[in-house]
Amino acid sequence: MFKLLKPNPVILHKTKPQVEQEIQACIGCNECLLACPALAEPITIDVLNRETINGPISAPVERFTQACYQCGACVSPCPVGLHRDAMMMWLKVRLLKDPNGT
Amino acid sequence: MIINAISKKKYPWLISLLATLGIIVLALATFLVYSRTSNNLFPDSLAGLAYGTAGLIFLVLATAGYTFSRRSRKRTVGALNASLHWHISFGIIALFLIFLHSFGHFEPVSGTYALFGLVALVISGVIGRMLDRLVPKLIAREVNIALTEQGDDRLESVTQTLQDITTYHKEQLHSFKSQPDLMVAEKDMQTAAAHLVSQDGTALPTSWDLAYISLAETPQEIERDAEHYRFVPDRKSPLSKPSALVPGLQEHMAELQTVQQALQRERFYRAIIRYWRVFHVCLTLLTIGLTLWHLEFAATLMFPTYFH
């Protein structure tokens, strides 16, 4: 609980080059998806990574993106210290710009 | 259709919602039957105790189930989401059963305080879920403002443009100052006057020198066609505005301010999500405390010999 009270001094969103860098660094261990309370259906990490950067967004990934509420539960289990929440935010922005996700 | 929706996992909350409605309807039916057949409509009656115990079990399941599920090492994709839906479901069922347990008696005793705590806890949870749906959308909107079309940092991009504008105008101003170097020109004029000679080689008298005015352009004069030529604006002129001589500055400053405001709002929305969760956890601890106090009070009534 005390972890929740710790102030977060930085803005959590990342730019596209930063997101691309993080996706390249992802080792595909699936820990972030296992820790996610918003993910209801099975999505593989490589599909999520691929669709985060560019290309069309599939219906399950779109549903997951809409359901993600930026709780940050995915950040601490990552063994390489990546920010899946920031990547999900980038996907949210992509969907905002293009609701069809094409 | 419902089975199809469940199997496709489009509506993962559907099973828990149906279970919640089923248990609530069942509890309500037993309550109606009991209230028509018995006169003992108090929290310490047989039905009251049964509702209280069932409510307590659901309250424990709601609190402990989700907490253990989050800390569990053996997890599958989507298991935590299902656990979250059951957490909400059990919380609502617990509140409903505890309401039935009260039988409408809301005297200022420990049980009423525990019930009010539970009401606040469930309401905070429901509001929290609504915030979870709404706030990330607002954050995404602010992030969209803070990023360029290509996904770069807009703050950095605007700052760079502003820097370019400032550098350009600084260079312009520098060239304006250095071209007609007044000091050098003045010196040249003095030297020229001192060495003025007549056509046949004899120096001319000073008075005659001073009377000589050349029609040629002096270095102090500014060419009308020069790039750095500026009008001196009057008060009403749009040129009198501070940024009039630096085009684009005002627009970029406004854009910079917009991005900064968007970043501030993003931070605020993230704080809402974070601190609402803290508030919910605090209410949980308070409700647990009040419930334990009420259980101790109920135990003294039910088993007076053990507590005296």
Which residues does A34 contact at the CB level (< 8 Å), separation at least 6? A77, B75, B76, B77, B80
Question: Å from A27 to nearest chain B CA?
Answer: 17
In a domain, A102, yes or no: no
Q: Is the per-residue pLDDT at A10 higher than 70?
A: no
Q: Higher model confidence: residue B233 or residue B306?
A: B306
Looking at residue A62, its pLDDT comes to 92
- A47 near B CB under 8 A: no
- Using a cut of 0.90, tell me whether the model's pTM lies above it: no
Neighbour-count burial of A33, counting CB atoms closer than 10 A to its CB (0-12 exposed, 13-18 middle, 19+ buried): buried
| Residue closest to B100 by CA, chosen among B30, B160, B170 | B30
Using a pLDDT cut of 70, give the percent of chain B over it.
71
Structure token digits, residue A5: 């009270």
In a domain, A50, yes or no: yes
Distance CA B13, CA B3 (A): 13
Q: Which of residues 71-130 of B touch A (CB under 8 A)?
A: 75-78, 80-84
- Inter-chain CB proximity A96 and B144 less than 8 Å: yes
In a domain, A5, yes or no: no
Question: Å from A23 to nearest chain B CA?
Answer: 15
In a domain, A51, yes or no: yes
| Residue closest to A63 by CA, chosen among B75, B13, B90, B139 | B13
Other CB atoms within a 10 A radius of the CB of residue B106 amount to: 11
**A57 in Cβ contact with A51 (< 8 Å):** yes
**B128 in Cβ contact with B283 (< 8 Å):** no
Residue position matching structure tokens 């950095």: B156
Structure token digits, residue B49: 């105790």
Other CB atoms within a 10 A radius of the CB of residue B158 amount to: 21
- Inter-chain CB proximity B270 and A12 less than 8 Å: yes
Residue B124 — very low, low, confident or very high, per pLDDT cuts 50/70/90?
very high
| Residue closest to A88 by CA, chosen among B295, A69, A54, A11 | A69
For residue A41, the enclosing domain spans 13-97
- The rounded mean pLDDT for chain B is 80
**Pairs across A and B, CB distance < 8 A:** 100
Residue A42 — very low, low, confident or very high, per pLDDT cuts 50/70/90?
confident
Structure token digits, residue A84: 């899946």
Question: Å from B229 to nearest chain A CA?
Answer: 43
| Residue closest to B139 by CA, chosen among A71, A49, A58 | A71
pLDDT tens string A54-102: 889 999 999 999 999 998 889 999 999 999 999 999 999 999 888 766 6
Find chain A residues with C-beta within 8 A of B135's C-beta.
69-70
Task: Label residues B77-104 b or e (16+ Cβ within 10 Å = b).
Answer: bbebbbbbbbbbbbbbbbbbbbbbbbbe
Residue position matching structure tokens 């509890």: B27
SS3 of B267-279: the string is HHHHHHHHHHHHH
Neighbour-count burial of B221, counting CB atoms closer than 10 A to its CB (0-12 exposed, 13-18 middle, 19+ buried): exposed
**B145 in Cβ contact with B258 (< 8 Å):** yes
- Inter-chain CB proximity B12 and A90 less than 8 Å: no
Nearest to A92 among B81, B132, B140 (CB): B140
**B170 in Cβ contact with B290 (< 8 Å):** no
User: Helix, strand, or coil here: A79?
Assistant: coil
Looking at residue B165, its pLDDT comes to 79
Structure token digits, residue B229: 């030529």
Looking at residue B168, its pLDDT comes to 77
ipTM of the complex: 0.87
**B256 in Cβ contact with B158 (< 8 Å):** yes
DSSP state, residue B45: S
Tell me the angle at which helices B110-146 and B154-178 cross, rounded to the nearest 10 degrees.
40
Distance CA B268, CA B295 (A): 40
Domain count, chain A: 1
Structure token digits, residue B162: 């502003």
In a domain, A8, yes or no: no
